[in-house]
Chains A and B, each alone.
Chain A
Amino acid sequence: MEKIGIQLTGIIITTILAFTVGMFYGGLRRKIIARAQNRIGPPVWQNFLDLLKLQGKTTNITHGVMTHLAPVWVVVAAVTALLFIPVLHAGLWFDNFNFKGDLIFLLYIMVFGSLGMALGAGETGNPNSAIGVSRGLSLLVGYEIPFVLSLVAVMLQFHTTSLTDLMHYQQETGRWILLENPFAFLAALFSALGMFHYSPFDIIGAPAELASGPMSEFGGKYLGTLMTGGSIFAFVKLVLLTDIFLGGAGHPGTLTGIWAVLAGLGELIVKTFLLYMIPVSIGIVMPRFRTEQAVRFFWKWPLAFGILAIIWALYKRKYFS
């Protein structure tokens, strides 16, 4: 009973952390884009105001049950994925629910939100939504293959499907998987560009082309809920990449107790922010791809890196219990 209480508290605190960090990253992105365009830009907390306003809308239109469910589905998928990712190293943060083999589970659960959104967007009957969904699924086919190849390479090399084991290995040896298998990191990074849906891969919700695609019929509270889910999911993706390739966060050193946790969170923020800057800064300077260009891109370099990563992993594989 006590364990359940601790786990529930852990879930709530982890979700709040992910939400806050994700929303602030979204605001920072808007600010950075504005500075790059020689503008002052909105304040960093602008996304919170947007969310508050969207939740404060007094009327909302619905097109059926799936329209109601889709934003909730997106949030649920994001939170579920979050619960299987260790935020900090073991012992510093709540263990959440990670288990042996959670990497394979994560591969599945990470597309769950997109699929729910596709069903919801399909029910609205808006032609823009239908085009957006078809583009989204094409893009998914594009970036999932290098992503899966990269994760499979890591699993092969270290003979484990557990995130905790990977983090433990990196903490013990002090060698990041970024250096142990650089091609896997490159392939995962390229897929992350597609996963974030930022320019040049913003073909799904292209505002000028598709009127924001699948979201075009979602206004008010639905849009607010989608925004929440998106923020949490951005944090999930960043923490996943940090955990696998950048050694995770939270090396206590001489620190103990709350200070160790705070230092770990600081390390996590620095690492995830640096990772987040890669898609953001590419997005600032790149125009939008067409769908077939995007898919062709993912099937060219990232796929090649993914195959190289597997070959590298077969040569460098390590066995440990």
Chain B
Amino acid sequence: MSDTKDIRIITRPTKEQIEQAKIDFAPRCTSAGRVNDKETQKTVEFILNFARKHSLFLLAYGTGCGAIEIPATLTSRYDAERLGIRGAATPRQADVLMITGYLSVKTLKRVIRVYEQMQDPKYVVAFGSCTINGGMYFDSYNTIKALDRYIPVDVYIAGCMPRPEAVLKGFAKLQEMIQNGNAGNGECYRKNLDWYRANQRKVIKNWDFPDEYNW
């Protein structure tokens, strides 16, 4: 810890100051860069955001037990299609990548490839506590614990497992973020690719991603 960049000073309630290793937070991109400053562009962006918000093509990546809640959300009882949410068949056509449950290192590789194949603006919804802190797999040797260290996440839906109402609430939050222009981190991912790649390489042992490919 000789490098001062990796040290942060924390003030305790007793006014005592201690040094601690800095937490490597996921990079955040402000929404300032996303919307063009011109007034006409703002209007166009407003209309497009309205359309984006009401038309979410969902690619549900059913990795864990949470996948069972997605059919319930999309079919007759909770009917997500009335909000414009419908299933997409392939990553190319999808807007929302939904990770339902834990990710083992092996599936993480596929998730990253799927995320990179999606077209901007793309959103990630992490579903269940497994994607937030590992959930009941917190001490597992081959699952990842926090998803946002590997791909940027827009909305977390907490719970083990969240019911369809919670999923719809999560989508409502995502729609609000889209309307405000705060969602969609594809640009941010590309900008901070080194940080994400470093994290991905740490867990993925047999790394066989192509060095360069167009998105």
Contact = CB atoms under 8 A, between A and B. Distances in A.
A96 interface: no
Given A52-B48, A57-B120, A60-B119, A216 B89 contact: yes
Interface stretch (A13-21, A32-40, A110-118, A165-173): A32-40
Contacts of A49: 51, 54-55, 84
A188 B134 CA distance: 58
Contacts of B51: 49-50, 52-53, 56
Contacts of B90: 128, 211-212, 216-217, 219
Contact of A41 (B82, B91, B215): B82
Contact of B81 (A34, A38, A218): A34
A162 to B, nearest CB: 41
A41 B81 contact: yes
A29 interface: no
A53 B119 contact: no
A218 B92 contact: yes
Interface centre among A41, A58, A212 (most CB of B within 10 A): A58
B89 A207 contact: yes
A61 B48 contact: no
B79 A59 contact: no
B111 to A, nearest CB: 17
A39 B75 CA distance: 8
Nearest to A220: B119
| Minimum-distance CB pairs A-B, first 3 | A219-B92, A212-B89, A52-B51
Given A40-B79, A41-B81, A41-B82, 15 more contacts: A39-B82, A49-B51, A50-B84, A53-B51, A56-B52, A58-B119, A58-B120, A58-B121, A60-B119, A61-B117, A211-B89, A219-B94, A219-B118, A219-B119, A220-B119
30 contacts: A30-B81, A34-B79, A37-B75, A37-B76, A38-B76, A39-B76, A39-B81, A40-B79, A40-B82, A41-B79, A41-B82, A42-B86, A46-B54, A46-B84, A53-B52, A58-B121, A59-B119, A59-B186, A61-B214, A61-B215, A128-B90, A211-B90, A212-B89, A215-B89, A216-B90, A216-B93, A219-B90, A219-B92, A219-B118, A219-B119
